[in-house]
């Protein structure tokens, strides 16, 4: 395959990238200096070697220890656990500085086509609840995007968590609709995220 076509088809695998955008990336790289291309190659290679998944919150991080800097931070509030869809949403909440508890990245949202959540780490979350409860957990906050997939995920996860939450005496809440409908957490401003957390129920 022609190298330019090959690169373009690789970019097309990225989420939200179509042939036109993929081709624009290729054109950009053609105009870039060899050092810019080298930097990109090194950064992509480092993602494979220097990054690993935290066994507690499931997010990917580049820390030296297995457990990430958030889960390992003794100043975080162990009473609240925010369940988020993706690493990107976790990063958005961290940037906003509104939440001081711990996280669990469930790994996506329920697909509306199948209404199934087989792709989600629901079992891992369930398995971790007894230990989290022993450590002081009181409330699980479902922090999913304010769109149909996020709502479906909220219902799905709540259904699966409810029986064990009842046994362990944990409250399950979800974010209030301070978030405008359709908004992704990653695009919400800190004030909006703050009010969504404050109005959770």
Nearer to Zn ion, 5 or 72 (CB): 72
User: Quick one: 57 or 165, whose CB is closer to Zn ion?
Assistant: 57
Q: Is 152 in the site for Zn ion (CB under 5 A)?
A: no
Asked if 80 interacts with Zn ion (CB under 5 A), we say no
> Does 56 help bind Zn ion (rule: CB under 5 A)?
yes
Is residue 137 at the binding interface for Zn ion, with CB under 5 A as the rule?
A: no
Residue from 54, 120, 179, 188 that binds Zn ion (CB under 5 A)?
A: 54
Query: What pairing do the DSSP bridges indicate for beta strands 60-61 and 171-174?
Result: unpaired
CB of 70 to Zn ion, least distance (A): 5
d(CA 135, CA 187): 33
Contacts from 108-112 at CB under 8 Å and sequence distance 24+? 109/85, 109/144, 109/145, 109/149, 109/150, 109/152, 109/153, 110/149, 110/152, 110/153, 110/156, 111/149, 112/148, 112/149, 112/152
**Residue 57 binding Zn ion, by CB under 5 A:** yes
- Positions that interact with Zn ion (CB under 5 A): 54, 56-57, 68, 71
């Amino acid at each position: 395959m022609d190298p330019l076509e090959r690169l373009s088809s690789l970019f097309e695998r990225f989420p939200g990238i179509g042939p036109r955008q993929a081709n624009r990336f290729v054109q950009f790289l053609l105009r870039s200096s060899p050092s810019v291309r080298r930097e990109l190659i090194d950064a992509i290679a480092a993602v494979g070697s220097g990054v690993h998944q935290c066994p507690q919150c499931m997010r990917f991080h580049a820390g030296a220890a297995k457990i990430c800097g958030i889960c390992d931070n003794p100043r975080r509030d162990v009473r609240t656990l925010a369940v988020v869809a993706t690493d990107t949403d976790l990063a958005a909440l961290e940037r906003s500085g509104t939440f001081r508890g711990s996280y669990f990245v469930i790994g996506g949202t329920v697909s509306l086509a199948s209404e199934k959540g087989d792709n989600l780490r629901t079992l891992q979350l369930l398995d971790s609840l007894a230990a989290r409860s022993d450590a002081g957990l009181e409330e699980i906050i479902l922090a999913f995007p304010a769109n149909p997939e996020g709502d479906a995920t909220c219902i799905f996860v709540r259904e699966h968590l409810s029986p064990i939450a009842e046994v362990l005496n944990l409250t399950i809440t979800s974010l209030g609709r301070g978030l405008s409908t359709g908004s992704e957490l990653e695009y919400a401003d800190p004030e909006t995220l703050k009010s969504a957390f404050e109005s959770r129920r």
